[in-house]
Amino acid sequence: MKTVLTESPIEAAEFIKRNGIVAFPTETVYGLGANVFDEKAIAKIFVAKQRPNDNPLIAHVGNVEQINRLVKEITPNAQKFIEAFFPAPLTLVLPKAENVLLIATANLETIGVRMPRNELAQEFLKNCETPLVAPSANLSGKPSPTDWQAVYEDLNGRIDCILQGETTEIGLESTVVDCTSPIPLVLRSGAISLEDLRLIIPETELYQIKKDEIVRSPGLKHRHYSPFAKVRLVQDSRFKIQDSRFKIQDSRFKAFIGLKKPEIEFDLIKICGSVEEYAHEVFAFFRECDRKNIEIIYCETVEEKGIGAALMDRLSRAAAE
Ligand code: TXA
Ligand code: MG
């Protein structure tokens, strides 16, 4: 399949109308979109990404009214979050409407809904004239793409079109909140932090997987955000390595990303000026490490507040074996 590159949201939307799949920028990461009501196009997403079919997709809307076509009910909690935040890097899980296809929700009776605030995404959604399901536009398991070149690297020849926008503003995926029960549960942390959500609904909780429980957000159990290189977390640039199996004297080709310049030499190094910049750069850095055959990436840990919680979540998953 030839993958068309375009900067035109009108041209990109034509592919959606002809049952195609199109990668597009959002404020979080690039998504791979298909018409939410087009079963064949949705099936193509799973093939293109090599995505396990038990991992549900997020529906993206261009306006709040479209949410009503996708859900049985906007629960009172969801209504509050919508009013406070939308459009935003925030996905709300709600009971799905009957006409929403089970292939989109991986057989769940709920659907995640999000209204991106990125202008090009909004323009594209408007031209599509339908909500789009869109997972991140990477091969399954790889770091999410934060620029169109990363999408191209993973999916050229596998999808119909890439809508070329800027590098994404945030760099980590949206916060996912289950709003189906009275206490909202954060299933995945993101730029809208637990603290932000609690300003609106103080009871909001972080979802913790209990042993033997069925995972509420199936995507969480799959391997994620992983470069080929091993990822190790270090507490600060003096390198108190959390994992005693690895020593920093390691002779392997190694990289470092963090906030403080370490005292020893690395083959590739990225120092970020803030936690926000770290979040913005981390996935692109993982990809750069892979292109340069780095064998081990040391990532400095950060405080788990604000976007730091989302960053630590992604780093821990990348470091998990
Ligand atoms: O920022 C984002 O959310 C990006 C951009 C493209 O919008 N999309 C994204 O999609 O990250 P994806 O498919 O890579 O991640 C979706 C996450 C998965 O962890 C999935 O399990 C969870 O959201 N999810 C989706 N629908 C769900 C549902 N009905 N119930 C629970 N979790 C759900
Ligand atoms: Mg993803």
What separation in Å is there between the alpha carbon of 134 and the centre of ligand 1? 8
Tokens read off for 14: 């034509």
Contact 111, 60 (CB under 8 A): no
- Kindly state the helix (H) or strand (E) to which residue 111 belongs, with its residue range: strand 110-114
Please tell me the pTM assigned to this model: 0.94
Distance CA 26, CA 10 (A): 16
What separation in Å is there between the alpha carbon of 265 and the centre of ligand 1? 38
pLDDT of residue 262: 85
Confidence of residue 215 (pLDDT cuts 50, 70, 90): low
Confidence of residue 228 (pLDDT cuts 50, 70, 90): confident
- What contacts 24+ positions apart, CB below 8 Å, involve 78-83? 78/179, 80/200, 80/201, 81/177, 81/179, 81/184, 81/197, 81/200, 81/201
What separation in Å is there between the alpha carbon of 135 and the centre of ligand 1? 6
pLDDT of residue 227: 82
Task: Provide CB contacts within 8 A for 169, sequence distance 6+.
Answer: 27, 28, 118, 280
pLDDT of residue 263: 79
- State yes or no: pLDDT of 196 exceeds 80: yes
Question: Does residue 19 line the site of ligand 1, with CB under 6 A?
Answer: no
Closest C-alpha among 219, 62, 50, 209 to residue 131: 62
HSE-CB of 307 using CA atoms within 13 angstroms: 18
